[in-house]
Amino acid sequence: MAPRAKSKPQLGRAVALPASPDEAVLDAVANPHPDTDYLVRFTAPEFTSLCPVTGQPDFAHLVIDYAPAKRIVESKSLKLYLASFRNHAAFHEACTLAIGKRVIAAIAPKWLRIGGYWYPRGGMPIDVFWETGRRPKDLWVPEQGVAPYRGRG
């Protein structure tokens, strides 16, 4: 999923839900504090996609942590991008890594970590974790806070 060409920012105007992750656009804005290492966390506790084999819905709790460099992700565009997976059929690993890689392509953060805490499929949860870059020295990064599977609700 490659980033699309520049388009008009989505914030402040009505935007239709993208039909697929490939059609979604992640908007980036200037980091208001490029001279400071800090953490940005997005949490999506109701992420959904489709099983590529059965077509049944899959559910996950996603946590995206990153240390910005020159740009940050605009949250409305991220929400639309994540929602575009609702009718997208892919394995848990593919969805989780595609999201992390798309954020990297959009903003080139200093560091990124994504946790995909997937609810059971076939009786067992499948959790997917990915980290890239070097965590900035002295950056406070709290635990992602998603409990090991015990009903997760």
Active site residues: 51, 58
Q: In whole angstroms, what is the distance from residue 36 CA to residue 32 CA?
A: 9
What's CA 64's distance to the chain center, in Å? 5
SS3 call for 50:
strand
For the chain, give the longest Cα–Cα distance: 48
Q: Are strands 111-118 and 71-73 parallel, antiparallel or unpaired?
A: unpaired
SS3 call for 72:
strand
Distances (CA, A) of 31 to 3, 36, 62, 66, 135: 19, 10, 23, 12, 18
